[in-house]
Structure 1
């Protein structure tokens, strides 16, 4: 959690008692976010001869927290909870040498395949549904044309009282 958010939480109510559970949870979320660095996952920069290689990562961090306290009947109680995750993926590395500074990206072929495969899967599903609906409609129309016509009730008088029940 960024420092300004933690500071704002602590300074939001200067006259109020801060919940110990919320303080611990706030510190936990802050420390988790601070640990989400490229060096934590892939190591520190490496130097050899006149060259230095610095790893670069894409970091995704999601944290959520909440809590509350109660002063019901002078029995103070509080509680808090939270969760989150941190994901680090290699993005490339920076090379510092006599020739200058350059970034070498790491290609992610799986990421490049996801969108085309999703489009193909969507088109295939749409085609299957379309063919299935068209075939069901064709069969329904075929049954309607081939079904024998309903016969009129037999009898010479034609009165409504003589219909079979």
Structure 2
């Protein structure tokens, strides 16, 4: 028997645990330091796609548009490998690393993916890209667990 999304009342975790929200916001701020806003949005969108987090997808697609990321990039981000030169070398490295961090089906980030990112980012930038991917994964998993609906669905 399949339940509808409305069938189970979910915890309002950010109300019951406001310190969690504060900590997540602080982590998000720290992870975003020294990462270009556009690159950060691509990382957040790709992880949110993989994790099926509608709330974060809605938020970060809106933010990406506000920051001028092209509709073509947003349309093709799920197929970035096949998109030719549409995505820069840094974007491709960050997206590959984000996918590997998000989907640990092999149990680790492959050496070639890590080396590819290390080749185009400084140590500081690489640490921040990793932190950003980890942070959006944490947000995704919380929001998926509580079935946080996109803003439009909340009205």
TM over 0.5: no
* Higher strand fraction (1 or 2): 1
* Higher helix fraction (1 or 2): 2
Q: Of the two structures, which has the highest relative contact order with CA contacts closer than 8 Å and spacing of 6 or more?
A: 2
What TM-score comes out, normalization by structure 2 length?
Answer: 0.20
What TM-score comes out, normalization by structure 1 length?
Answer: 0.19
